[in-house]
Structure 1
Amino acid sequence: MSLPELTETTSSNRVELPGSRGEHFLQCALETQDRATRFYSDQVLDHLNPAMAEFVARMEMAFISTADADGECDSTLRAGPAGFIQVIDPRTVVYPEYRGNGVMASLGNIMENPHVGMLMVDFTEDLIGLHVNGRARIAPREEFAEFAGEDRRIERWVVVSVQEAYIHCRKHIPRMVPVDRVRHWGTDDTKRKGGDFFGVKADKTSNAKD
């Protein structure tokens, strides 16, 4: 089935509901409005309720999505000990930026376009996920020094003002079992250390010699 193009005219039926023009347009085109409206009504908040805040506080990782001013997207993983994402209040969460490869892809996008999407998933116990969408800003380490403690890896923070919070259902979430992580700190094997796991540097070095 081919779909009509999205235009200002065809998208003018948008009402005051969460979501984008595109999703509302497709709901009409594919006749899923009733299901979508029930989901918005039953599951979407503009803040974190207590159950959501508790969920965030025990997460050890989050998938972060950003885009630059031209809409070019990037997604990344942020991880840390349980509680590394701080819930300041029902409308504000903060997560740390640790020292990394220096590329600053996510932070660079946030500077151009503050919209950010966070997805946190419990793969081990409840098999459920939580989406948190909002507007982000970059804060210096000192602004939330009480959360950093003695962890000198934290260089700055990302502060997210919550605009949408909603469930990611468990239907297709795989169950995973946590195991102790083996870290090969003392090895000279580049692949085992993870620095060039996909062989990109090795390939570039080889091609440069050819």
Structure 2
Amino acid sequence: MPGSDGERRLQERFGSRERADRFYAEQVLDRLNAQMIEFVGRMDMAFIATSDRNGDCDASFRAGKPGFLHIIDDRTLAYPEYRGNGVMASLGNILENPHVGILLIDFVRDLIGLHINGPARIVDDRVLRGWVPDLPEPERGRVAARWVVVAVEEAYIHCRKHIPHLAPADREERPWGTDNAHAKGGDYFGAKAQARTLVGGTPGISGS
């Protein structure tokens, strides 16, 4: 049965149970159908939601050429993890709490979105290639060290009502894996001068 206990309680409180049940019955699948698979295959970005064992959340962004989200079968997909800032916030959360939410949005053509929810596991690139031989080949400067493999439990539409229509624009080429601070955005928000320090285990602000 789709939906959390919290969803059900609020549906009862606010009188939306009938509409919710209709959405669950008509739109929520436990797998990816053919149309969803085609949609995933042409996406070049994804928003990833995770939380740790305590429920503290993180939202992250992943991008790549269409096909970087690799469909293994109608109940399994994988996305690559590349070298980043070393924090590994999403992966760390998955290690503690495997449940992930993925949101894919087509801002350009169909103005529609797709939610994919389910448990995930972290798999080394070499291991996954032994299991899934048709994974995308690495590109120069862009080699996946590991993959996140997601078992699809829920897949459903995100309606187009409030999705803006965006047009792709040309942009400067940036080498993948670069350590160039300007190319990466560096200290865009000026946080470095206000870096947090830990004093007695309590976060504080330095330089004040």
Check conservation: 1:148, 1:154, Cα contact below 8 A.
no
Q: CA RMSD in A?
A: 2.2
Check conservation: 2:121, 2:150, Cα contact below 8 A.
yes
For residues 33 and 112 of structure 1, what CA distance do their matches in structure 2 show? 33
Aligned-pair identity (%): 56
How big is the shift at 1:150?
3.0
Are positions 1:155 and 2:145 aligned together?
yes
Q: For 1:154, what is the secondary structure of its paired residue?
A: coil
Letter in 1 for 2:50: T
Residue 88 (structure 2) aligns with: 104
For residues 138 and 5 of structure 2, what CA distance do their matches in structure 1 show? 45
How big is the shift at 1:154?
1.0
Residue 182 (structure 1) aligns with: 172
Query: 194-203 or 48-57, which moves further after superposition?
Result: 194-203
Kindly report which structure 2 residues correspond to 1:1-210, keeping only aligned pairs within 5 A, or say none. 17-145=1-129, 146=133, 147-151=135-139, 152-183=142-173, 193-204=184-195
Q: For 1:24, what is the secondary structure of its paired residue?
A: helix
For residues 58 and 173 of structure 2, what CA distance do their matches in structure 1 show? 27
Hey, which bits of structure 1, 4+ residues long, moved more than 6 A? none
Check conservation: 2:118, 2:150, Cα contact below 8 A.
yes
Check conservation: 2:194, 2:207, Cα contact below 8 A.
no
Letter in 2 for 1:71: G
Check conservation: 1:92, 1:162, Cα contact below 8 A.
yes
Q: TM-score, normalised by structure 2?
A: 0.85
Check conservation: 1:141, 1:148, Cα contact below 8 A.
no
Deviation track 1:28-79 (CA, whole Å, cap 9, x = no partner) reads 0000011101100110000000000010011001100001000111010010
Q: 1:182 to 1:92 in 2, by over 3 A?
A: same
How big is the shift at 1:111?
0.4
- Aligned residue pair count: 191
Q: Which runs of 5+ in 2 are unaligned?
A: 197-204
Q: Which runs of 5+ in 1 are unaligned?
A: 1-16
